[in-house]
Amino acid sequence: MEISTLAVVGAGTMGQGIAHVAALHGRSVRLVDVSEAVLQRALQTIAHNLERQVRKERITATQKEEALGRITPATDLEAAVADVQLVIEAVPENPELKAQVFERLDRAAPPEAILASNTSSISITWLGARTQRPARVIGMHFFNPVPVMQLVEIVRGLETSDATYETIYRLAEALGKTPVTVNDAPGFVSNRVLMPMINEAIYCVMEGVASPEDVDQVMKLGMNHPMGPLALADLIGLDVCLGIMEVLHRELGEDKYRPCPLLRKMVAAGRLGRKTGRGFYEYA
Ligand code: CAA
């Protein structure tokens, strides 16, 4: 099945990026969120990010306008997904919230539609089991900033069918991304490897081993990472990082996944990174 019409549910950072890339690659996109105001801000951000690509001569001004024209904002989830071939869910990383969204999507989307989740840590098998169509449930995990990052981690749940997998694999390629296939397991591959590194960097700060700037400098200049782990944690969101560490700790049970107390403290204080203007760094 070739996907030409899809819905993206959740117009936060990831939903915006996914809608941006899908529309730029010719797909007709319904962008769904709970409020008009959130959707209007999302469309402005998408326009701004498309404009960056125009300025860099990656795309033309016409391609930008065509892409924007393919995105339809919607607040009525049921109506928005009634005739799509695929839904990509990108709501906040809260298991029960995602499960409830999947139950609603299962009732409202056509029976043959695929339901994909951009979750970074929640079990695809578990989400699939909340629907009547577990064979058509799959993980499609994008990376921030979506227009720039090459990878899509394709996560196969226990019941995900070969047909669903092949459709989504081909779609990821058609969106200009490089898909990598992983089986459903806590944190998949990306966050099982990335988050313990970020957590360890936070321990280094908490224990006074080095300042956030110096920890990041070590990883940038010594390991050639494009940004240090603490700047990256601020980009991802410290609440998201904590949520993923909690999943790893709970599901895999080993002490090496224990969230750093400083991470917990910063989340409790509302220092969530870029989105709140303050994390390990301050943002204007
Ligand atoms: N939309 C479109 N283009 C964008 C963009 C956006 N949102 N953000 C950046 N860009 C473009 C810039 O215009 C620029 O384009 P050119 O290459 O054509 O010049 C390019 O991306 C690089 O941007 P900048 O020059 O502004 O800055 P930079 O060179 O420092 O790169 C970065 C910024 C791409 C974010 C880079 O620092 C980087 O790759 N960081 C690591 C990001 C990362 O690891 N992301 C994964 C997070 S984990 C995750 O998302 C999943 C999860 O489950 C937690």
Identify the CATH number of the domain in which residue 163 sits.
Answer: 3.40.50.720
Query: In the chain, how many domains are there?
Result: 2
- Is 83 part of a structural domain of the chain? yes
Q: Domain ends where: 144, 160, 183?
A: 183
Side-chain-side CA neighbours of 169 within 13 Å: the count stands at 12
By the 8 A CB rule, do 248 and 242 touch?
Answer: no
- Name the closest-CA residue to atom 7, ligand 1: 145
Q: Which pLDDT tens digit goes with each residue over 111-136?
A: 999 999 999 999 999 999 999 999 99
Residue 102 is predicted with a pLDDT of 98
Find, among 50, 45, 48, the residue nearest to 61 by Cα.
50
- Is 33 annotated for ligand binding? yes
- Is 174 part of a structural domain of the chain? yes
pTM: 0.95
Predicted ipTM beyond 0.90: yes
Shared domain for 203 and 178, answered yes or no, is no
Of ligand 1's listed atoms, the one at least distance from the Cα of 145 is 7
Shared domain for 220 and 171, answered yes or no, is no
By the 8 A CB rule, do 190 and 143 touch?
Answer: yes
Shared domain for 142 and 237, answered yes or no, is no
Shared domain for 176 and 201, answered yes or no, is no
Residues designated as active site: 120, 141, 153, 191
Q: Parallel, antiparallel, or unpaired: how do β-strands 86-89 and 178-183 relate?
A: unpaired
| 38: helix, strand or coil | helix
Q: Residue 225: which residues within 8 A CB-CB, separation 6 or more? A: 219, 232
Shared domain for 130 and 48, answered yes or no, is yes
At residue 89's C-alpha, the angle toward residues 11 and 276, to 5°, is 40
Q: Domain ends where: 183, 218, 243?
A: 183
- Is 280 part of a structural domain of the chain? no
- Is 281 part of a structural domain of the chain? no
Q: Domain ends where: 148, 163, 183?
A: 183
Which residues make beta-bridge pairs with 195?
none
Cβ count within 10 A of residue 114: 27
Shared domain for 203 and 254, answered yes or no, is yes
Residue 24 domain boundaries: 5-183
By the 8 A CB rule, do 194 and 263 touch?
Answer: no
- Is 15 annotated for ligand binding? yes
Band the pLDDT of 74: cuts 50, 70, 90: very high
Cβ count within 10 A of residue 174: 14
Strand order of the sheet with strand 71-74? 71-74, 28-32, 5-9, 86-89, 114-117, 137-141, 151-156, 178-183
- Is 12 annotated for ligand binding? yes
CATH of the domain at 239: 1.10.1040.10
Q: Which residue has the tokens 């117009």?
A: 11
Residue 1 is predicted with a pLDDT of 80
Mean pLDDT throughout 50-70?
A: 98
- Is 243 part of a structural domain of the chain? yes
- The span from the CA of 192 to the CA of 186, in Å, is 7
Q: Parallel, antiparallel, or unpaired: how do β-strands 5-9 and 86-89 relate?
A: parallel
Residue 47 is predicted with a pLDDT of 98
Shared domain for 221 and 175, answered yes or no, is no
Mean pLDDT throughout 179-188?
A: 97
Q: Give 279 Cα–ligand 1 centroid separation in angstroms.
A: 18
Residues with CB under 6 A from ligand 1: 49, 52-53, 56, 58, 120, 143-145, 147-149, 190-191, 226-227, 232, 236, 240
Mean pLDDT throughout 79-99?
A: 96
Shared domain for 38 and 171, answered yes or no, is yes
Of ligand 1's listed atoms, the one at least distance from the Cα of 143 is 50
Find, among 76, 108, 97, the residue nearest to 117 by Cα.
97
By the 8 A CB rule, do 119 and 90 touch?
Answer: no
Instruction: Give the burial class of 266: count Cβ atoms within 10 A of its Cβ; 0-12 exposed, 13-18 middle, 19 or more buried.
Output: buried
Mean pLDDT throughout 56-60?
A: 96
Shared domain for 99 and 155, answered yes or no, is yes
Shared domain for 232 and 149, answered yes or no, is no
Shared domain for 242 and 173, answered yes or no, is no
- Is 85 part of a structural domain of the chain? yes
- Is 202 part of a structural domain of the chain? yes
Mean pLDDT throughout 251-274?
A: 97
Shared domain for 90 and 203, answered yes or no, is no
Residue 246 is predicted with a pLDDT of 95
- Is 201 part of a structural domain of the chain? yes
